[in-house]
Structure 1
Amino acid sequence: MNTKKTDPRVIRTRQLLRQALIDLLEERDLEHISVQDIADRATIKRATFYLHFEDKQAFVVRYMDEILAELRQNIIVSSDDPDDFDFLSGEPHPSFVRLFHHISERFNIYHALLVRNRLPYFAAGVLQIIHEFIAEGIDYAEPDDRNLTAAREVAIKYVESAFLEVIIWWIGNMMPYSEEDMAGQLMRLSIRGPYRQIPDRRSPMS
């Protein structure tokens, strides 16, 4: 087993670089940020940056991959989650709450990468994780295609796309609802749609 620990100086330098990137992304678009800008904001030498990363693209992709890995890990169904969860109860599944809690704890990062700069690589990564999350949830809640109102692949695509856009809206509006409230609202929308009961309204033209 490899027990070698990363030098604390390396950890600190990378933390400074990550924070510098997020701060700069709140001020300007990624293409207008240089390695020198990042190094200056992190208060390190440009040469030090290149000791850790090949170039800006490698650094940004590495950082985004780390955040995406954290997101995936946070929403994995835990052994502590109930096996007999009632998806029709209107209450959010714990994994839904963890999704929003993870984002809330890293608000500045998600705001910089999804709102101030909607970086395609990061948005696609988040969408892929949500896809897996939703697909697993729908398969668990209703394994019988005959009980779905649309083809399974269409239902999954519909829900995952809505999830991403609602998450971006939530972040962009400074999280106006709590993590638990957002988790509950999205879960109810995913399972029941926007109506408490089917509207019984005739068209004005009828």
Structure 2
Amino acid sequence: MEVKKKDPRVIRTHLLLRKALIELMEERDFEQITVQDISERATVKRATFYLHFDDKQALAQQYMNEILEDLRGHLFVADADDPDQFDMLSGQAHPSFVRLFHQIAQNFNLYYALLVRNRVPYFASALLEVIHEFISKGVDFTEPDDRNLTATREIVVKYVESAFLEVIIWWVANNMPYSEEEIAAHLMNLSIRGPYKQIPERKSRI
């Protein structure tokens, strides 16, 4: 079956509208943005916008879905990484962890607009689902035996995935103060070892 190619004019219009939407969301709340605002910023007619999307929500949702699918595609390329050849206790970030932050950095303006300037519930929730799948597979590989976990598997996954999302938001909000490799290594080490190099001794007060 032959795959129908997209009209280059349609692709160009969608790119212009997406760019305009993200620029505007970096400046103000999504609720304050109108279709007219998007059209003017994209230098297309309002009627042209409605030829492609029913409303601004439809434009935003399509873009968010595609960005998240792209992220998922880069994260779950298991065949490209040989887990048996990687030392999880080396202190270095696994390539999949680095890819996570690389994709976010590549789309920094979008993540800033959707997670920081506007914390869009749909995007945050959908991103958490991607992270959940990523962490679940990682925990299953690293430790398949529940007896060696410090909490039930579902709590471990929920704890780690929530931390990942909030650190991602913090990393973006602070203009990526650590490199992709550094932040990935920090989170991987926290996920595997926890926050302490040694269990701290509680000193009694005199």
Q: TM-score, normalised by structure 1?
A: 0.97
Q: Provide the C-alpha distance between the structure 1 equivalents of 2:181 and 2:171, rounded to a whole number of angstroms.
A: 13
Could you give the per-residue CA deviations for residues 151-170 of structure 1, whole angstroms, max 9, x where no partner exists? Answer: 11001000000000000000
Instruction: Please state if 1:156 is matched with 2:157.
Output: yes
- Structure 1 residues 74 and 146, CA gap change in structure 2 (3 angstroms): same
Unaligned 5+ segments in structure 2 are none
Q: CA RMSD in A?
A: 1.1
Q: Which residue of structure 2 aligns with residue 46 of structure 1?
A: 46
Q: Which residue of structure 2 aligns with residue 83 of structure 1?
A: 83
Q: 4+ runs of 1 displaced by more than 3 Å?
A: none
Please list, as runs of the form range in 1=range in 2, the aligned pairs for 1:1-206 lying within 5 A after superposition. 1-84=1-84, 85-204=86-205
Number of aligned positions between the proteins: 205
Could you give the per-residue CA deviations for residues 126-176 of structure 1, whole angstroms, max 9, x where no partner exists? Answer: 100000000110000000000000111001000000000000000000000
Identity level (%):
67
Q: Provide the C-alpha distance between the structure 1 equivalents of 2:71 and 2:100, rounded to a whole number of angstroms.
A: 7
Unaligned 5+ segments in structure 1 are none
- Structure 1 residues 77 and 7, CA gap change in structure 2 (3 angstroms): closer
Residue 82 of structure 1, CA deviation: 1.9
Residue 201 of structure 1, CA deviation: 2.7
- Structure 1 residues 77 and 5, CA gap change in structure 2 (3 angstroms): closer
- Structure 1 residues 62 and 200, CA gap change in structure 2 (3 angstroms): same
Bigger mean CA deviation after superposition, 82-91 or 148-157:
82-91
Q: What letter matches 2:32 in structure 1?
A: H
Q: What letter matches 2:189 in structure 1?
A: R
- Structure 1 residues 46 and 158, CA gap change in structure 2 (3 angstroms): same
Q: TM-score, normalised by structure 2?
A: 0.97
